[in-house]
Amino acid sequence: MSLKVLIVEDQFIEANNLQIIIERVGYQVIGLARSVEEALAIIEKEQPDLALVDIKLQDSVSGIALAPTLNAINIPFIYISANCNHDVIMQAKGTQPYGFIVKPFREKDLLITLEIAMFRHENSLETAVKKEEQLRLNLLKVIDIKDTLSDKMLAIVKSLQTFISFDYLLTKSIPLSTSANFISYLRIGFDEYQFIGTKEFEIITNHTLTDVTKSKIFNEKSTENIIFVEDNFEKMLLKNPDQKLLADKFNLQSLMVLPLALSDNNIFYLFFYSRKCDAYNSSQIKLLQRLSNPLIAVIENLVKSNQSDDKQNVMLNESRGIKKVNAQEPDFFKQIIGKSHLLLNVFDNISHVAPVDTSVLILGESGTGKERMARCIHELSKRKSQPFVKINCAALPFNLFESELFGHEKGSFTGAIERRVGKFELANKGTIFLDEIGDMPPELQSKLLRVLQEKEIDRIGGRDPIKVDVRVLAATNRELEKEVAAGRFRLDLFYRLNVFPVTLPPLRDRKDDIPLLIDHFISIYSKKANKRIKGISKKGLNEALNYHWPGNIRELENLVERAILLSREEILMRLQIPDNISHQYMIFEESKEFKSIDENERDHILQALEKCRGKVWGANGAAELLGIPPTTLHSKMKKFGIKRSPS
Ligand SMILES: Nc1ncnc2c1ncn2[C@@H]1O[C@H](COP(=O)(O)OP(=O)(O)OP(=O)(O)O)[C@@H](O)[C@H]1O
């Protein structure tokens, strides 16, 4: 059956042209809409499989306004626009389109973008369905686990984590008489949780459970799912001091509540908290609703076994001291040091994508660990016993590029004195890692695209194409959308590579990891230097925590290595951190432009947020530091388009 396409384009000739192109290859155009309103009417009558949406419509409403509806009903869409300025691209990107075509475009580019969009959509649907089924089975399996109650609870927590990312999960039953009435888990590593029951909670917060169960969210016998993100989360905290206590204690920034109505009229609540301020959305609520039956079955089983087993009651509700569960180091990411929640989010994504053959585009500033992550993806895949071949696209001279990637036959050009096998062939059955992909010359981008599409290469001077089976991982520290907008990077290649983007956070956004990384590098480089260095001084660590690390982990690694070589003591006194003030001065000199008052205010707010690690409200928050009310800071952040990115 041919795919049904909706075209949203106000220029008749262009809409007609699009229709001719796509009908020629077998798609069915179910409607030409000239405005968002017309598009909505068509969608209501006849659900398209895909929509092509022009961004700039004559009507005052932009095509981007259609995105929430299309996303909600799961219709993939591709934007078409003659305007590729950065702001438009960023605004469009935020709505998660399946493609972006810049006018004027070639017919071929349009068709490839359509094909990739459908491929990605089907793939993501299929994967989502498979994963959901797996989660359902995993939850039901918990019933048969013979382990203790807390092991069962932990199994549920871990199963849910792969779908609903959380940093703290609290479960609570109403009325309080149910024995498993307050259990919570704080995520402290990729697969590590700290169990926090009633007693532990009191030790950590200095408040009794009675203090913190006063709030409405806890006591309401509501069975509605609720999400608190961004401003709503802050507003909710103002009304619920107990939630504020939790949020401040664990640096939480959003909440999703799932009430489960048990058959004995009790309500069992799952509170998912995240350190990201926009972690939850309605699609997760829908997922949890679909899963409510297995969840209720497993929770009822859990509550029943808890009531019938006094010893386990003691373990859940009376345990003293703070327990780490599953404290053994997980194998998956042992090469990648760090436990900050931003990195844990990356681990979650990588653990989903690594085993499948999808291309992964690793983004992040220089030195954030992109190559290390690529190796890790390879190690976690079924290709791990096959070669991992790296190409640095920025370091290869232009004239050697093609021969390096695809190889050449003897005598195919002056200097080709013998046959050479290219990196793609060397990587056959394994993984190829294209580092600094943003620096690949445009002429070669089309050749790379061909390899990705046809899965075959042409050696220079060779007669027949050679089949290759490689998984492609690519990395860049450039903003590829900007490169596309500037015409330096092919759009179709961008979409091929951007199937699964992963962004590594800069070190300054995950300062919690600095002590771990310093210890890690001290242990490596002190062994190398044959010295016994035990650690770093408090002052040295504080300086490292206050530095902004433009060179990220590589810079930290180099500074630790240098300090070890120079150190005569068992403790590193300090790292030779470049002078922050002179650095700022340099930036000012380089930028030359004189800043407006608004720009200065924006920078100042950003600096305050960075210093307070994204915290706006309360003690040590940015509002306090700036000496303004949090609500004022909030509206200024809105005005300047600043979103909080906590450490
Ligand atoms: N999480 C980590 N744990 C330990 N070492 C790390 C981690 N991330 C990066 N490193 C180390 O930091 C250095 C830089 O990492 P890597 O080369 O992977 O960064 P990159 O983002 O690919 O850099 P570039 O963009 O400059 O190519 C390497 O020596 C790497 O081993």
Please answer whether residues 174 and 264 qualify as being in contact, where contact means their C-beta atoms are separated by less than 8 angstroms.
no
How far apart CA 522 and CA 293 sit, in angstroms, is 50
The sheet carrying 431-435 orders its strands as 388-392, 431-435, 471-476, 360-363, 501-503
- Among 553, 557, 560, 561, say which to mutate for ligand 1: greatest number of ligand atoms within 8 Å of CB: 553
Q: Where are the alpha helices (DSSP H) in 354-432?
A: 370-379, 398-406, 423-426
Domain final position from 290, 325, 360: 325
267, part of any domain: yes
Is residue 31 within 6 Å of ligand 1 at its C-beta?
Answer: no
Kindly report the CA angle at 456 between 452 and 459, in degrees rounded to 5? 120
Q: Are residues 513 and 499 in the same domain?
A: no
Give the residue, by CA position, lying nearest to ligand 1 atom 13.
Answer: 554
Q: Are residues 80 and 190 in the same domain?
A: no
* Residue among 45, 308, 306 nearest 173 (CA): 306
- Among 345, 511, 554, say which to mutate for ligand 1: greatest number of ligand atoms within 8 Å of CB: 554
How far apart CA 123 and CA 325 sit, in angstroms, is 35
Phi, psi of 51 (to 5 degrees): -125, 140
Cis peptide before 48 (omega within 30 of 0): no
Half-sphere exposure of 134 (CA within 13 A, CB side): 12
From ligand 1's centre to the CA of 565, what distance in Å? Answer: 21
CATH code assigned at 523: 1.10.8.60
**What is the extent of the structural domain holding 605?**
593-639
CATH code assigned at 81: 3.40.50.2300
Q: Are residues 473 and 361 in the same domain?
A: yes
139, part of any domain: no
Is residue 370 within 6 Å of ligand 1 at its C-beta?
Answer: yes
Per-residue pLDDT at 364: 94
Is residue 422 within 6 Å of ligand 1 at its C-beta?
Answer: no
The partner residues of 192 in beta bridges, in order of sequence, read: 189
Instruction: Say which DSSP state 262 is in.
Output: -
* Residue among 324, 318, 321 nearest 182 (CA): 318
Give the residue, by CA position, lying nearest to ligand 1 atom 29.
Answer: 554
From ligand 1's centre to the CA of 637, what distance in Å? Answer: 32
How far apart CA 114 and CA 438 sit, in angstroms, is 23
Per-residue pLDDT at 320: 39
Using CB atoms within 10 A of its CB, is residue 303 exposed (0-12), middle (13-18) or buried (19+)? buried
Is residue 505 within 6 Å of ligand 1 at its C-beta?
Answer: no
Q: Are residues 452 and 530 in the same domain?
A: no
Per-residue pLDDT at 407: 87
Q: Are residues 350 and 494 in the same domain?
A: yes
How far apart CA 295 and CA 136 sit, in angstroms, is 8
From ligand 1's centre to the CA of 337, what distance in Å? Answer: 10
SS3 content of the chain, % helix, strand, coil (to 5): 50, 15, 35
| Helix axis angle, 398-406 to 442-454, nearest 10° | 10
Q: Are residues 154 and 273 in the same domain?
A: yes
> Mean pLDDT, 10 residues at a time, over the chain (647 residues)?
88 92 92 93 90 86 89 87 73 82 81 82 69 79 73 83 87 58 83 84 76 60 79 87 85 90 83 90 82 85 66 41 47 81 88 83 94 94 94 82 85 73 92 93 84 84 87 93 82 82 93 94 94 93 93 95 91 84 38 66 85 77 81 80 59
Is residue 506 within 6 Å of ligand 1 at its C-beta?
Answer: no
From ligand 1's centre to the CA of 212, what distance in Å? Answer: 43
Please answer whether residues 66 and 53 qualify as being in contact, where contact means their C-beta atoms are separated by less than 8 angstroms.
yes
From ligand 1's centre to the CA of 369, what distance in Å? Answer: 3
Q: Are residues 393 and 481 in the same domain?
A: yes
The partner residues of 571 in beta bridges, in order of sequence, read: 535
Max Cα–Cα distance, the chain, nearest Å: 85
> Which ligand 1 atom sits closest to the C-alpha of 435?
27
Per-residue pLDDT at 115: 82
Q: Are residues 527 and 539 in the same domain?
A: yes
Please answer whether residues 171 and 180 qualify as being in contact, where contact means their C-beta atoms are separated by less than 8 angstroms.
yes
135, part of any domain: no
CA distances from 50 to 34, 43, 116, 129, 528 (A): 16, 10, 12, 19, 57
Per-residue pLDDT at 203: 82
**Which value, to the nearest 10 degrees, does the dihedral of the CA atoms of residues 54, 56, 62, 65 take?**
20
Cis peptide before 550 (omega within 30 of 0): no
Domain final position from 91, 125, 159: 125
| Amino acid making up residue 250 | F
Q: Are residues 305 and 158 in the same domain?
A: yes
How far apart CA 498 and CA 438 sit, in angstroms, is 12
Please answer whether residues 186 and 322 qualify as being in contact, where contact means their C-beta atoms are separated by less than 8 angstroms.
no
How far apart CA 628 and CA 287 sit, in angstroms, is 40
Phi, psi of 362 (to 5 degrees): -100, 120
134, part of any domain: no
Per-residue pLDDT at 310: 45
b/e per residue 261-278 (b: at least 16 CB within 10 A): ebeeebbbbbbbbbbbbe
Is residue 366 within 6 Å of ligand 1 at its C-beta?
Answer: yes
CATH code assigned at 321: 3.30.450.40
ipTM: 0.97
* Residue among 372, 450, 453 nearest 405 (CA): 450
Q: CB atoms < 10 A from the CB of 102, how many? A: 17
> Which ligand 1 atom sits closest to the C-alpha of 373?
18
588, part of any domain: no
Which regions of 420-507 does DSSP assign to beta strands (E)? 420-421, 431-435, 456-457, 466-467, 471-476, 501-503
How far apart CA 535 and CA 522 sit, in angstroms, is 7
How many domains does one find in the chain?
5
From ligand 1's centre to the CA of 209, what distance in Å? Answer: 44
From ligand 1's centre to the CA of 381, what distance in Å? Answer: 20
Phi, psi of 214 (to 5 degrees): -75, -25
Per-residue pLDDT at 122: 76
> Which ligand 1 atom sits closest to the C-alpha of 337?
3
Per-residue pLDDT at 594: 63
Is residue 519 within 6 Å of ligand 1 at its C-beta?
Answer: no
Instruction: Say which DSSP state 64 is in.
Output: G
> Which ligand 1 atom sits closest to the C-alpha of 553?
12
Per-residue pLDDT at 127: 64
Instruction: Say which DSSP state 410 is in.
Output: T
499, part of any domain: yes
Domain final position from 471, 503, 535: 503
How far apart CA 50 and CA 110 sit, in angstroms, is 13
How far apart CA 516 and CA 333 sit, in angstroms, is 14
b/e per residue 595-610 (b: at least 16 CB within 10 A): eeeeeeebeebeebbb
Is residue 338 within 6 Å of ligand 1 at its C-beta?
Answer: yes
b/e per residue 118-140 (b: at least 16 CB within 10 A): bebbeebeeeeeeeeeebbebbe
Q: Are residues 20 and 93 in the same domain?
A: yes
From ligand 1's centre to the CA of 336, what distance in Å? Answer: 9
Please answer whether residues 456 and 467 qualify as being in contact, where contact means their C-beta atoms are separated by less than 8 angstroms.
yes
How far apart CA 50 and CA 38 sit, in angstroms, is 16
Q: Are residues 474 and 365 in the same domain?
A: yes
CA distances from 97 to 63, 67, 68, 116, 597 (A): 12, 8, 11, 12, 35
From ligand 1's centre to the CA of 373, what distance in Å? Answer: 8
Q: Are residues 95 and 197 in the same domain?
A: no
From ligand 1's centre to the CA of 486, what distance in Å? Answer: 29
Half-sphere exposure of 94 (CA within 13 A, CB side): 9
CATH code assigned at 437: 3.40.50.300
From ligand 1's centre to the CA of 368, what distance in Å? Answer: 5
> Which ligand 1 atom sits closest to the C-alpha of 374?
18
From ligand 1's centre to the CA of 321, what distance in Å? Answer: 37
583, part of any domain: no
644, part of any domain: no
From ligand 1's centre to the CA of 552, what distance in Å? Answer: 8
